[in-house]
Amino acid sequence: MRLCVLGLLFPFALTALSLPEWLLPYPGASASNQASPGLIESTYSTKAKPADIVAHYQQQFERAQLSALVNDDGRGTVMRASAAECDLMIRVREQAGATWVTVSCSEKSAASAQATYLPQSPSSAARRPLPRTPAERDAYTAQVLADADARHKQRIDSMSKYDQPVYQDARPRPLPASSGLALEWPSWLVHGRGADRGLSVVKSTDQSRRPYLESVYRTGAPMTEIYNFYEDLFRAHGYRVAVAHLSTGSTLNHVTQNADGDIEGSYSPNGIGNGSIEIKASFSRFYLNEPITVRLRVEVHEPIRLPGR
């Protein structure tokens, strides 16, 4: 099923993956499953509290003798575990008076085992105690909300430096012998979870004969996860994220799904006006449930030189 403008029906191959038989939705909920190569996603909504949903899955993980990492991502609770069948990620979000649950079962691969995630802080990696009584569930919910508020405040505070006025000299100062503007692939610029291959960097030129480096891979990870991964990655290495977006596409049957997006990061090691390193991560799919193509591009913008200077 084709996304975006055309909205036509096309066949697509389904993955051989299957959700673990022991992993059941919250009692009374009716889940809708979607499959694509390397990924199965099961979604549903319920009136139950998020803490009850989390406790439900924690109990199933314990019965299956699996360890689960539970943390707050600023929009809700995320649970991760590695089952024999696949890598599991469960997202629990509270919205419009209901709790929305997405269970992702992604294919295990050598690429996904590489260290591509940003290190977690000890507080976020610590496993939360299993809420069993109403009082414990209320305390758990209060803690999740407090963590979300703290994360939001931290993000806003970290952005306050970009609210300050910037004054630059009319004449850019001379570049030092080592300007830090070499066209090189940063060692920290890696692929996200579920990549179908390792990074293969190719050098090319655009229509203006400006050289750039590029690497492309595909993944079955959710597009919002890819977006958040590269946004955090850019900021963690001092890049200013000035352009970012996500957009959806629809089929003729009015099925809406994330279709494309991109994030651009800029780093000026010698100050504004003295050149910059630009990195862009773009991601897209053309058909419904198709794996996402991620394109990473690195280029250098030379210093601005005024006429006659």
Same topology for domains 15-108 and 181-301, yes or no? no
Are the C-beta atoms of residues 37 and 46 closer than 8 Å to each other? no
Q: What is the DSSP letter of 37?
A: T
Beta strands in 7-116 (DSSP E): 32-36, 39-46, 69-72, 77-82, 87-95, 98-106
**CATH match for 181-301 among 3.40.1000, 3.40.30, 3.40.50, 2.60.40:** 3.40.1000
In the chain, where are the structural domains located?
Answer: 15-108, 181-301
Ordered mean pLDDT values, 10 residues apiece, the chain (309 residues): 41 60 92 82 90 91 86 80 87 86 79 38 44 68 67 60 48 46 88 84 86 92 86 88 77 76 87 85 85 92 64
Alpha-carbon span 70 to 120, nearest angstrom: 12
Provide the pLDDT for residue 295: 94
Provide the pLDDT for residue 275: 84
Provide the pLDDT for residue 137: 67
Q: What angle do CA 278, 191, 270 make, to 5 degrees?
A: 25
> Architecture of 15-108 per CATH?
2-Layer Sandwich (3.30)
Provide the pLDDT for residue 153: 64
97: left (phi over 0), alpha (psi -120 to 50) or beta: left
